[in-house]
Chain A
Amino acid sequence: MEKYFTRLGDGSAVWMTEEDIRWDLEEGMKDAADRGRIPELTDDEMQRLFEIITHPEKTVSCERGNEGVVTFDAGTLKLPVRAGIPMDRMATILTHERALCSDTMELCTTDYSYKSIKNFVHEEAMSMELAQLNSIIPIFYGAMPNLGQYTKPDGPIDNWSELLPLAKIPEARAAQEEAVEHAARDMVYISSIVYDSGADGINFDTVGASGDGDFLATLKAVETLKNKYPDMPVEIGMAGEFVLGMHGQLTYEGDRLAGLYPHQQVKVCEKAGATIFGCVINTNSSMSFAWNLARTVTFVKACVEAANIPVHVNAGMGVGGVPLTNTSPTDATSRASKAIIEIGKADGL
């Protein structure tokens, strides 16, 4: 029986039969439909997914005319910090613009959290001004809300992750509510300064990593910023497919945030004033690439159909069907890219 080369969710190689791949595609798709209470993919879409996964070429690409727009998280971290290339952020931006041909870029700092940027935000603004003089592509400024940084000993607030195991539920909730106000204020402060220095947009990345409080802080910050700067482009990129209820009762304009899936998250982000939504679907490293990709595309399709704003799907290591490894194989990454854009109908990545 013929076997096809493919991957597991951790990136390792595996050879699977057509029957096994189709089984995993079906199970992954149904898992997403069941969890999100969203429509299943059609038979044609499932066949298309099978063809993408079993395509004999090592790297695949979209059909002409189907290209999408690429935005970034951790933009200027990838070359000088993660890859250790001795280049500054200006050179990184221009390398992306003129050598790698990125559609956009993001200026960011190594401690990718808004709270950490407060002490040197004016230096960040200077870097943004210089970058804008030299670059042509849109440059975002970005970081994470990272609500956990507001807890003791790094911040002023009791740690809800320590309070919850002690069954101090009201105290844990009160701590998160206090942290939300601090984080929202910091995000507005920093975003205002870098936007005044010429940033093309603000990126809030890994939103919801600390749960529903993290998400609420971002929504509040975006709402304030859009009132202050109605034309400000704002991208909200999520941390996961499901908003964790670390608080459990937080709402935004009547919507309970805990438990929202991508097609629901985007509607809340639209209400706050976001202009691009970055949806996340987690990769299960124990399952196959086929299972993960079918699951991703099912969630993406529902999210894009629900959205009135562009959806840029997060497709880095461990999300968007991409295997959970820092050096994801290009065969898997390019297949995820193609399936998300062509079957999920995403507006970008």
Chain B
Amino acid sequence: MAVTHEVATGMGGIRTAGDLVARMQMTKGMKLKEAKEYVAGKLGISVFELSDSYRMKEIREQFDIGHVLDRDKASYGMEAKFNIAKLLGIPINSVENFKKKIGMI
């Protein structure tokens, strides 16, 4: 059932910009329109392109924020989240924890 929703109306997770829009809803309580506009602004693309998997593959690779397809030297997991936090200008809880653990802060 969850998969049906994701296919029917979901944004597409890291295949597109679903995780990024979700982070703005979660951290700033932004409604959908505002969250999409914020993310599109940070990525330098249109709101329409946020759900275009072809365009977003290029964008995610360009910003090195993780994608469904694995590539050597690309950032994944925590590495990608460091880049996402910087790109969106928001603190990510696990990233802040990681920094504390390795003595970055």
Contacts and interface: CB of A to CB of B under 8 A. Distances in A.
Contacts of B19: 103-104, 136-138
A67 interface: yes
Given A103-B18, A136-B14, 6 more contacts: A198-B94, A198-B98, A200-B92, A328-B4, A340-B9, A348-B32
Contacts, number: 184
A349 B9 contact: yes
Nearest to B20: A103
Q: Interface residue tally of chain B, by bracket?
A: 35 or more
Interface of B: 1-16, 18-19, 21-23, 25-27, 29-32, 35, 47-48, 51, 65-66, 68, 76-78, 80-81, 84, 91-94, 97-98
Given A69-B18, A102-B2, A275-B29, A195 B93 contact: yes
B26 A67 contact: no
Contacts of A237: none
Interface in A304-329: 307-310, 315-317, 322, 328
B4 A337 contact: yes
A59 B8 contact: yes
If over half of A's interface residues share one DSSP class (helix, strand or loop), that class is named, otherwise mixed; here it is: loop
A98 to B, nearest CB: 5
A317 B9 contact: no
A67 B11 contact: yes
Given A78-B2, A276-B25, A337-B4, A70 B14 contact: no
What are the 8 closest A-B residue pairs judged by CB atoms, nearest first?
A103-B18, A198-B94, A132-B94, A233-B26, A101-B13, A347-B32, A337-B8, A334-B8
A287 to B, nearest CB: 20
Given A133-B77, A200-B92, A310-B32, A138 B14 contact: no
Contacts of B13: 96-97, 100-103, 137
A84 interface: no
A348 B76 CA distance: 26
Nearest to A101: B13
A330 B2 contact: no
A65 interface: yes
A212 B60 CA distance: 45
Given A64-B51, A97-B13, A231-B91, A102 B25 contact: no
A70 B10 contact: yes
B9 to A, nearest CB: 4
Nearest to A62: B9
Interface string A50-69: 00000000011110111111
